[in-house]
Amino acid sequence: MSTVPLHTQDVDSGTDLETGLTPPTPDPAPPQTLNAGGIALWLRDLAISAAASVLIITFLYQPVRVEGTSMLPRLEDSDRLFINKFVYHLSAIERGDVVVFHYPRDPEKSYIKRVIALPGDRLHIDHGTVWLNGRRLLENYVPDEYRDSRSYEEIVVPQGSFFMMGDHRSISSDSREFGPVERSLVYGKAVFVYWPAKDAGVVR
């Protein structure tokens, strides 16, 4: 590692007019080098940073890639996003959350959908219009061109389960096909798209 230059004030080497003495020239400061102790501190900080990154990815945020278009228009095929794997240990799953869960018919696969109904909710779908506890559900996240005319008979969502649907209703495979999703299968909340740049932003 190169030495660090020391910046000092200029010293007048001329005669001191008041005393008639020539001020002594100060000894130059020894060059600073990175000793063994400095290397150890640098390696320690590097190890702490690496460990913190691993812990964050392992227990808090995980990068995932979207496959398919059932969550258009917000999420496009091949979008990269972070999911928060810890948030539901501290707070409840809420209606409208975009969540990641193990596919009930094949837990090796993961799906990303929006929570439409909570445990105990009474739900039915009439030609594409979702009715929840006797009231029409306003779904601004579903553009008109992505709606469909499918119906679903009334159910009461079982305790410990959630009714999930994709925003692109006309092509989405969701709880209308495989039923409510058990809480134990949900493992993350979609929070932020980081790539590509045109899609970057918070997932709502």
Which residues are marked as active site? 70, 113
- Residue 110's Cβ-count burial label (10 Å; 0-12, 13-18, 19+) is middle
* DSSP per residue, 85-144: SSHHHHS---TT-EEEEEETTEEEEEEEEEEEE-TT-EEEEETTEEEETTEEPP-TTS-G
Q: What DSSP string describes 127-142? A: TTEEEETTEEPP-TTS
Is residue 181 within 8 Å of residue 164, measured between CB atoms? Answer: yes
3-class secondary structure per residue, 21-65: CCCCCCCCCCCECCCHHHHHHHHHHHHHHHHHHHHHHHHHEEEEE
Q: Cα separation of 30 and 116, whole Å?
A: 70
